[in-house]
Amino acid sequence: MSSSMEDFMRTSFPPRALFLSLAIAGAALFAAAAPESDGGARSALESLKKALRADDMDAIEDALSGVVRAGGADSARRLLSLIRQIPSSRESLYWSLLRGAVSFTDRPALGAVGEFIVKNRAQPVARDVLYALSRNTSRQAPAALRPVLLDESAADDLRVQAAAQLGFIRSPAAVDALIEVLKAEEKRGASDSGEPVITVIESLTNLTGKKYGFNSVNWEGWWKKNQGKPLAGRQEQDRSETGTAVDSLDVQRRERYLALERAPKKGVVVLSAVFTKKSHPVLVRKDLNNDHMDEVLERMNIPHTVVEREDFLDFDLRETGAILINCTQFHRICICPFCKPGKVKNDRLYPCTGCDKHIPFSAELTGPQIEKLKSFVKSGGYIFCEDWVVKELMEKAYPESVTAGDKLAESSVDVVPVRGMALHPYLKGIFVPGEDGGSGGVSFDLDLDFSDEEDGEEEKEEKAAGGAGRGKTVVAGVDDEEPEPASLLRIRHEWWIDDESYALRVRNAQKVVGLLGSGELQKKLGADSLVALAVRPGSSVPPGQPSAPRGRLPGVVMVVLSHFGKQGSREDEHAIENLLLNFLLEANVEREARAAPRRKEP
């Protein structure tokens, strides 16, 4: 588990009374003379400094907009330097500043962003910056992505992400960069089956509509004849139109999705909570599900089987790769035919009214059912839990990892990746533009001295050349067009939390992979601010580890603090759908790997 994850989990939000004054170094800000063209950037940075000292998030957003509009490599470097100082107790501020750093549209600034990612390739912040940069599809974005893609020392996930992002930028510079890396991969004898190379070829096809495979000579020959023409792009065929996240899958996820479509119906099981007289002689039919994930699977065209809780112990799981447990009203309730749920604030708990018989009933998972679920995970199965299931299952089955925390009030909260986790396989396709915000309370020291005394050698060389590296510059070809307008990109989601939901309390950060967190919950609850996490009980191999031996490890349990169908926008709903889909895609790969030895048996 990364140290950033541990810090995120254990750092509580400090009280406002403990605020420390922000330190400003001795020399006057911007004391040295600067070219006249730098005035806008320096003024914007001064405004940002004041907004940070006041901890005014609205003012910070306005100042960031000014910094982005001013542009320049120096502005980007100073903003990125600030980001590294934000403690783990201030995730909203961290992502707000990061949002600014990736919103530039001028080549010098974006070049500085690329340099930062390469320089910090081994740090969590590099993945977060690269992820956020995916929102930037300006013509100059290849200036940031090309250095990452060509960095052979970078991990595959960084290079794959850079290659994928280039595939969405209709710019000759993007095609140039992709062909350049393809030639380099061929020269060093790389296989055409490596994920970075596969992604490069996919991105070239996305941009050009051509299919020349792992052959840089053909790509280069075609490009020399056509680089002056508009990029036609891939002509999409047979794309899904389900209205769900499956409509926008990349090539690798689409191949896995097609395999999931072919899986047996028992491959995915939804554990439902509709009870009949099998459970109690008084019951006729009572639906105690707070959500119906089977309906989500139907919209996604994913084969599945619905199993009611009262039938679960007798159900054969040998063909099953994943179990989805619907959030259920498991608290003890009255099932008298004359009982009416109370109309009070906490009516999700069904308080008993208008009843004189009081026949108690509980849909809670029984001890034998929990043991069956634990055995399923131990043998490699995957379980997806939502909302109240953390209290029902996790607290009893895996209390050393996760338990239920405080009850929450109904609200909409911001959702961002846990630091360093933005490129995790379970988060693929999740983040699309969404309004950003923040939480108050600066309680740490920032080095806000933007004076020239802090300049590095690269910045000093730029100034000696008359500030050539600053501001909006243009290069040949497509860059001769008018500079693109710059504005802050949006890189977070809003998720709806139902009344009486339990916060997710991590007991051992070493056993848990935090995926998504909320700055707003962090402000209220401190460490209990995750909204999605994953656990691989009984193994030290983290969930989503691509190098894990297929079909030979215990399974994974994912917990999400939200419901399907409750999000405020289509993009937010697609985010939670993608989380489930990524989980099921991996679960199906693992199921097939476990089934392979059985198929070989005579």
pLDDT digits (tens, 9 = 90+) for 27-77: 223 333 233 346 688 889 999 989 988 888 889 999 999 999 999 999 999
Residues 327 and 389: beta-carbon distance below 8 Å: yes
| pLDDT at position 468 | 38
Q: Is the pLDDT of residue 196 over 50?
A: yes
How many H-runs (helices) and E-runs (strands) does the chain carry? 20, 17
Give residue 235's pLDDT: 59
pLDDT of residue 472 exceeding 80? no
**How many other CB atoms sit within 10 Å of the CB of residue 316?**
7
Q: How many residues does the chain have?
A: 602
Report yes or no: 483 and 474 within 8 Å, Cβ to Cβ.
yes
Whole-number pLDDT of residue 279: 82
Each residue's pLDDT tens digit, 135-172: 898 999 999 999 999 998 999 889 999 999 998 898 99
Strand partners, 555: none
- Alpha-helical (H) ranges within 282-366 are 293-299
Answer whether residue 506 shows pLDDT above 80: yes
To the question of pTM greater than 0.85 for the whole model, the response is no
Is residue 218 over pLDDT 90? yes
Instruction: State how far the Cα of 523 lies from the Cα of 507, in Å rounded to an integer.
Output: 19
Report the sign of the C-alpha dihedral through residues 319, 323, 328, 330, in that order. Answer: positive
Lowest mean pLDDT among 122-126, 412-416, 444-448, 503-507: 444-448
Q: For 385-389, 460-464, 576-580, which range has the lowest pLDDT when averaged over its residues?
A: 460-464
Contacts of 513 (CB under 8 A, 6+ apart): 1, 5, 421, 424, 533, 534, 535, 542, 543, 544
- Average pLDDT value for residue range 423-441: 61
Rounded Cα gap, residues 509 and 506, in angstroms = 6
| pLDDT above 90 as % of the chain | 45
Q: Per mean pLDDT, which range of 118-127, 128-137, 185-194, 355-364 is the poorest?
A: 185-194
Q: How far is CA 327 from CA 291, 324, 377, 387, 446, in A?
A: 6, 9, 19, 6, 43
Distance CA 580, CA 429 (A): 11
Greatest Cα pair distance, the chain, in angstroms, is 88
**Residue 172, exposed/middle/buried by CB under 10 A (0-12, 13-18, 19+)?**
buried
CA distance 109 to 98: 13
Segments making up each domain of the chain, as ranges: 1-17+40-101, 247-324+365-429+493-600, 329-362
CB 503 within 8 A of CB 406: yes
Cβ-based neighbours of 3, under 8 Å, separated by 6 or more = none
Q: Are 183 and 220 in contact (CB under 8 A)?
A: yes
Q: Which two tokens stand for residue 350?
A: 């069904």
- pLDDT at residue 397, as a whole number: 96
448 — pLDDT class (breaks 50, 70, 90): low
C-alpha to C-alpha distance for 587 and 320, rounded to whole angstroms: 9
Helix (H) or strand (E) holding 534: strand 530-535
| 309-365 pLDDT tens trace | 999 999 999 999 999 999 999 988 888 877 776 665 455 666 777 777 788 888 999
- Region class of 510: left (phi > 0), else alpha (psi between -120 and 50), else beta: alpha
- Sign of the CA dihedral 283, 284, 289, 294? positive
Q: What share of the chain has pLDDT > 70, as a percent?
A: 80
Say how far apart CA 144 and CA 173 lie, in whole Å: 11
Domain 247-324+365-429+493-600 is in which class?
alpha beta
Amino acid identity at 47: S
Of 155, 159, 154, residue with least CA distance to 196: 159
Instruction: Tell me the H-state helices in 251-366.
Output: 251-261, 293-299
What pLDDT shows up at residue 520?
85
All residues at 6 or more sequence positions from 572 whose CB lies less than 8 Å from its CB, including other chains: 434, 493, 494, 495
Task: Please count the other Cβ atoms lying within 10 Å of the Cβ belonging to residue 193.
Answer: 8
Nearest to 124 by CA among 274, 269, 4: 4
